């Protein structure tokens, strides 16, 4: 494709026909093109803007644990009660993602596909990751201070939050890493699917269903889990060192799961089918005729 970026090729070939229904499904290439544009917009933002947005996201992600803890405080901490509590686990994700705050794990998709597309902007992407990640963790810490140290919630809810945090950091480094890979895959995949959705209610449904699986399966999410784990740290139930080990394992896993399983695979599938965009408005008979003309003489015989 020479120096022409995939984005430019998509823009040239992905314009929908004039009578295309507004509710028709987007192609993978159209979702990819939208993801590239989002990544470009994010990398244009200043570090200050990213930090403030990331701080808001870290605070908002505390709602995943707070909603679950409110249920556990009333029902107890049996296995079935944890599953029931996870019905509110998606709350923080809905607030942050639909509200377009900066969440680290979402950014394993958008700027990454831009880097793959343009073969540049890696340094700017690392800037975004660093600023957003630190701001997310600080926001999660502020949430923990609010609910544990100020008396903003009842002792029962604060205790349930600490129990969730203690449960979050349990496990070997390997287990936490692979739980992070699975969690990062689901969150980045969710970001891909939300990009394909035109309506807010559809986005909310996608976020809810996919993040419910993350919570119910006990997968690791470096920011949602931080809000819970830091509550346990401030309550004196988890050593700071244990939290930091968990954070390293979860973050590495989330990053690899999002970048490798979602960003690279979707980039690959679009790159492999980019010619389809040029075929979309051509009659099928013409496409078949062209395919036949490319066959070798022996094949035609």
What is the architecture of the domain spanning 26-272? Up-down Bundle (1.20)
Please state, in angstroms and rounded to a whole number, the distance separating the CA atoms of residues 179 and 171. 10
Per domain, the residue ranges of the chain are 26-272
More confident residue, 1 or 76: 76
pLDDT at 26: 85
Mean pLDDT (the chain, rounded): 88
pLDDT tier for residue 238 given thresholds of 50, 70 and 90: very high
The H-or-E segment that residue 278 falls in is helix 276-279
CA distance linking residue 201 with residue 10, whole number of Å: 27
- pTM for the complete prediction? 0.84
Please compute the mean of the pLDDT values over residues 13-38 and round it to a whole number: 69
Exposed (0-12), middle (13-18) or buried (19+): which is 11, by Cβ within 10 Å? middle
């Amino acid at each position: 494709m020479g120096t022409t970026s995939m984005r430019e090729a998509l823009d040239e070939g992905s314009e929908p026909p004039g009578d295309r229904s507004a509710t028709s499904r987007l192609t993978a290439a159209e979702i990819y093109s939208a993801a590239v544009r989002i990544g470009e917009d994010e990398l244009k933002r200043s570090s200050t803007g990213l930090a403030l947005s990331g701080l808001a996201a870290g605070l908002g992600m505390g709602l995943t644990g707070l909603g679950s803890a409110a249920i556990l405080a009333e029902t107890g901490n049996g296995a079935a009660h944890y599953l029931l509590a996870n019905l509110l686990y998606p709350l923080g994700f809905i607030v942050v993602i639909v509200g377009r705050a900066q969440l680290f794990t979402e950014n394993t998709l958008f700027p990454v596909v831009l880097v793959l597309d343009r073969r540049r902007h890696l340094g700017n992407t690392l800037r975004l990751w660093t600023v957003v990640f630190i701001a997310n963790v600080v926001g999660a810490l502020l949430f923990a201070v609010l609910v544990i140290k100020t008396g903003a919630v009842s002792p029962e809810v604060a205790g349930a939050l600490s129990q969730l945090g203690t449960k979050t950091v349990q496990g070997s480094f390997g287990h936490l890493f692979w739980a992070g890979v699975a969690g990062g895959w689901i969150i980045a995949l969710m970001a891909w699917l939300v990009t394909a959705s035109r309506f807010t209610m559809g986005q909310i449904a996608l976020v809810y269903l996919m993040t419910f699986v993350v919570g119910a399966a006990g997968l690791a999410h470096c920011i949602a889990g931080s809000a819970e784990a830091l509550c346990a740290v401030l309550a004196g139930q988890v050593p700071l060192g244990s939290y930091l080990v968990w954070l390293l394992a979860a973050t590495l896993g989330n990053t690899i799961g999002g970048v490798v399983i979602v960003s690279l695979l979707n980039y690959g599938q679009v790159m492999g089918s980019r010619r389809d965009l040029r075929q979309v408005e051509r009659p099928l008979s013409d496409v078949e005729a062209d395919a036949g003309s490319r066959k070798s003489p022996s094949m035609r015989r």
